Structure 1
Amino acid sequence: MVEELVAAGAAAASACVLYAIAGARVVKQYERGVVFRLGRLRNEVRAPGFTMIVPFIDRLRKVNMQIVTMPVPAQDGITRDNVTVRVDAVIYFKVVDAPDAIVQVEDYRFAVSQMAQTSLRSIIGKSDLDDLLS
């Protein structure tokens, strides 16, 4: 009888340890953790370091807060004086608000890239060739 109780206690203790390990997460210094509980955004953003979540209920999405450089593919455009030009660029961006980057935009990296391409084409169309060359 005592052996069965000890075995049951050991099994329960090991299950508790495994449950706790499943909820352990590490957020790196340059990241912030955004927690969703059952699909709903939690108010607090997890700071860098060790953090715990409730396994199978919470989801932790990490957001890179560093400055990101991204090349913009070459864009063909026609200037205001009807000259065809091909312009490429590099964009630099940084996420300022981690929850908004995850919740408000489906894929913020893709959105930034598309916005940069659209802005580049718009600027090409509004400028003269002399302005672009300078």
Structure 2
Amino acid sequence: MVEELAAAGAALVAAGAVYVMAAARIVKQYERGVVFRLGRLRPEVRGPGFTLVVPFVDKLRKVNMQIVTMPVPAQEGITRDNVTVRVDAVVYFQVTSPADAVVRVEDYRFAVSQMAQTSLRSIIGKSDLDDLLSNREKLNQGLELMIDSPAVEWGVGIDRVEIKDVSLPETMKRSMARQAEADRERRARVINADAELQASKKLAEAAQQMAETPAALQLRLLQTVVAVAAEKNSTLVLPFPVELLRFLERAQQQLPQTPGGSDSGQG
């Protein structure tokens, strides 16, 4: 009798061990478990850690709750100003409702990827080339709203969307380079013209000042000679202004005559 009880107890323990092994499930910290019992969704979602299901009756499906980084393949389209471009992007999303992500959509990753590609082509057609190149933050927000609207029903939340690169045709790149070069040349000419205007005003003021004080012209001439002589040139060509001759002539006229000049003539 005791042996029969021991054998029954051993069989019960073995059956219990087999049941626990068949029913035991481990859910990781970043996962949630969705249970289907005979094909029907159970309302409770299993959290991380050790959990049990009914063998051959329940089916546990684990859903990753981490933020997923999904690259969007480059999409080719024509912008609103008729420029052909290729644009690629990256989408960051996270499952917010594990039950909806499993039940409402067959493959939520594939669904988000297709929605992102469609939205990206739509954004390309609605935007100008300048917006794609310089106003990406606004386009990223619009793209995020377009993807997030249907994704909410799938139990998925879009964290952010970023446009990575905008590829232009070679002809467009050359045209933009010529446009930028022409714009830089225009600015350089405007700056040079403004410098010439300012210099002419200063030269006019200097000429007026020298006309009022002829000695200043001679000093300026001497400074020019000193500056040229510092270069150790063997030949020096120096223009001689007429105003300097007039200055020397006036200076000569102002010199006092030598006394006794007439007496020497009489002797």
For the superposition of Structure 1 and Structure 2, which TM-score range results when normalised by the shorter chain? over 0.9
Q: CA deviation at 1:85?
A: 0.4
| 1:102 aligned onto 2:102 | yes
| 1:76 aligned onto 2:90 | no
| 1:132 aligned onto 2:115 | no
Higher relative contact order (CA 8 A, sep 6+): 1
Number of the residue aligned with 1:112: 112
| 1:58 aligned onto 2:65 | no
Q: How many residues align?
A: 134
| 1:15 aligned onto 2:15 | yes
Using structure 2 for the length normalisation, give the TM-score: 0.48
Cα deviations by residue, 1:47-103 (Å, 9 ceiling, x for unpaired): 111111101100111111111101111111111111110011110001111100000
Cα deviations by residue, 1:16-35 (Å, 9 ceiling, x for unpaired): 21111111111111111110
Mapped to 1, the partners of 2:44 and 2:66 lie a distance apart of: 20
Mapped to 2, the partners of 1:74 and 1:113 lie a distance apart of: 12
Mapped to 2, the partners of 1:44 and 1:131 lie a distance apart of: 47
Tell me, what secondary structure is at the counterpart of 1:54? coil
Which segments of 5 or more consecutive residues in structure 1 lack a partner in the other structure? none
Q: CA deviation at 1:5?
A: 5.5
* Greater helix proportion: 2
Between the aligned residues of both structures, percent identity stands at 81
Number of the residue aligned with 1:37: 37
Moved over 3 A (4+): 1-9
Question: What's the RMSD between the two structures over aligned residues?
Answer: 1.4
* Greater strand proportion: 1
Number of the residue aligned with 2:67: 67
